[in-house]
Amino acid sequence: HAAADCTACHQLGREETWRSTPTECFACHAGLYRRPDIHPNHVDARFSHECDSCHSQYSFTPARLQHDVFFPLRGSHEAADCFSCHQNGVYGGTPKQCYACHADDYNGAIDPPHASYAMSRQCESCHNDIAWQPTRANWHDHVFKISSGHHAGFTCADCHFGQTLPPANFTCIGCHERGPTSGRHDGVTDFVYENFACYGCHQGGGG
């Protein structure tokens, strides 16, 4: 801009015209944005009109795409080809939810079978964006503690009968029979053998 002629930005006319010149890049460079020979085609790709997200005011090239502004590229995403996420050269509007790209991974998972168990499609509730494995060991603990204590090592089917996970079809006394349970609670004040009364003392699911 230092060498640009004043009239390149300030159109000839009334004095007020000089005062109201827009400062956004796109206001002057919309023609370049729309050029069909620009690669990638900015219009088809639905790139932002905020030119400075990729270009500097000193030169249009080389462009510097700050992808983290839109979606952080970490782990496996760092080495992914652009077109594995951006189909048909369209960049704008690409969904950011994991499932949008990884539906096949979700539907093909067998240990546990995500689809038939109706597991959450919020992949990040168990996985992270660096790698699928290992999953978060304690993801279940916010519902019922199974990462440690007496329930550690249980399989999904031990509590989730049928083919669905949320919610589990179980109660404490469904597994803990009256005789042995009552015997272990001899002398425990206010002990009652009722569904979920157990949580009064065993909030963490342990003994």
Q: Where are the domains of the chain?
A: 6-89, 98-170
> Is it the case that residue 45 has pLDDT exceeding 70?
yes
CA 134 to the chain's CA centroid: 17
d(C-alpha 13, C-alpha 181), whole Å = 92
- Mean pLDDT, residues 25-47: 85
Cα 63 from Cα 68, distance rounded (Å) = 15
The reported pLDDT for the residue numbered 139 is 65
Contact 41, 90 (CB under 8 A): no
Out of 3-12, 23-32, 134-143, pick the least confident. 134-143
**pLDDT, tens digit (0-9, with 9 covering 90-100), for 163-175:** 555 556 567 887 8
Over residues 38-45, mean pLDDT = 80
**Cβ atoms of residues 10 and 21 within 8 Å:** yes
For 79, 115, 165, 194, the CA distances from 169, given in Å and listed in that order, are 42, 18, 8, 16
Is the model's pLDDT at 13 over the cut of 70?
no
pLDDT (0 to 100) of residue 103: 95
3-class state of residue 119 by DSSP: coil
Q: What is the mean pLDDT of residues 67-78?
A: 84
Is 127 within 8 Å of 76 (Cβ atoms)? no
Instruction: Report the percent of the chain where pLDDT is more than 70.
Output: 85
Taking only the tens place, the pLDDT of each residue in 86-126 is: 877 777 788 889 999 999 999 999 877 888 777 889 898 88
Decide if pLDDT at 138 tops 80.
no
Binning pLDDT at 50, 70 and 90, where does residue 137 land? Answer: low
